[in-house]
A and B are shown apart, each in its own frame.
Chain A
Amino acid sequence: GAVVSQHPSRVICKSGTSVKIECRSLDFQATTMFWYRQFPKQSLMLMATSNEGSKATYEQGVEKDKFLINHASLTLSTLTVTSAHPEDSSFYICSARGPRDRDYTDTQYFGPGTRLTVL
């Protein structure tokens, strides 16, 4: 249980295009999801907190107009990288706070990640 999926797992796009990444909680509802970015051989950098039905909360230094987050349902959050450029190439990982009914609300479960390459 407490499985989080991401789609796509890998995407290559041209500079200037937009890319959407989906994050789904498969067997539980998640009112809060998180989006991280990870550079090679580095730790995860929290980009934003996604709350179902409300606007995302972005971390300092993250451009909200460039990284659009939508949390339209209790099982789906999307991250859209708009007008992508080569410097946006990275590994993007989402997570969801665990299911309330299993008393894992203090645990985040992570998706497998999406590797974005912008040419």
Chain B
Amino acid sequence: GDSVTQMEGPVTLSEEAFLTINCTYTATGYPSLFWYVQYPGEGLQLLLKATKADDKGSNKGFEATYRKETTSFHLEKGSVQVSDSAVYFCALDFGNEKLTFGTGTRLTIIP
């Protein structure tokens, strides 16, 4: 079945460090790929998405590229801020079915 594997956390970085959170997927066909972010005590917010191979999603300085050859959708940011501290979820969707989530990666940025 379809699945998403995320880098295990927690991840702790200093402010202005470079961030990578790895995400790989297993799926039959070509799903849409998403990164969602969850701040403490809140629901999930869509951070970015990509719907086909080689698409790059970007938002708030975060980027992720849909790599079909490596079945990956790694999240990157060049310079993180304390306000980026949250839990990040990678997910896939075939458009008319349920989202399949990764386990989430807790990110803490220290000043």
Contact A44 B44 (CB under 8 A): yes
CB-CB nearest in chain A for B44: A110
Within 8 Å of chain A (Cβ to Cβ): is B12? no
- Which residues of A have CB within 8 Å of B51? 106
User: How many residues on chain B are close to A (CB under 8 Å)?
Assistant: 21
User: Interface centre among B43, B45, B51, B104, by most A CB within 10 Å?
Assistant: B43
The reply on A34 being an interface residue by CB < 8 A is: yes
Given A46-B98, A93-B44: A108 and B104 interface contact (C-beta under 8 Å): no
The B-contacting residues of A in range 39-87, CB under 8 angstroms, are 41-44, 46, 49
Q: How far is the CB of A70 from chain B (nearest CB, A)?
A: 19
Q: For A44, give the chain B residue with the smallest CB separation.
A: B101
Is there a chain A Cβ closer than 8 Å to B42's Cβ?
yes
Interface size on A, residues (CB 8 A): 20
A110 and B43: CB pair below 8 A?
A: yes
Q: Does A25 contact B (CB under 8 A)?
A: no
Chain A residues in 8 Å Cβ range of B103: 42-43
CB distance from A25 to the nearest CB of B (A): 13
Shortest Cβ distance from residue A53 to the other chain B in the assembled complex, whole angstroms: 17
Where chain A touches its partner, the secondary structure class is strand
Q: Is A107 an interface residue (CB 8 A)?
A: yes
Smallest Cβ distance from B65 to chain A, in angstroms?
18
Contact, CB under 8 Å: A106 / B93: yes
Distance in angstroms between the alpha carbons of A6 and B44 in the assembled complex: 12
For residue A13, give the distance in angstroms from its CB to the closest CB of chain B. 19
Distance, CA A46 to CA B59, complexed state (A): 26
Contact B95 A42 (CB under 8 A): no
Name 10 A/B residue pairs within 8 A (Cβ), A-sorted.
A42-B103, A42-B104, A93-B43, A106-B49, A107-B34, A108-B46, A110-B45, A112-B43, A113-B41, A115-B41
Apart from A43-B102, A107-B93, A112-B42: 15 A-B pairs, beta carbons within 8 A: A34-B98, A34-B99, A43-B101, A43-B103, A46-B98, A95-B44, A106-B93, A107-B34, A107-B46, A107-B49, A110-B43, A110-B44, A112-B43, A113-B43, A115-B41
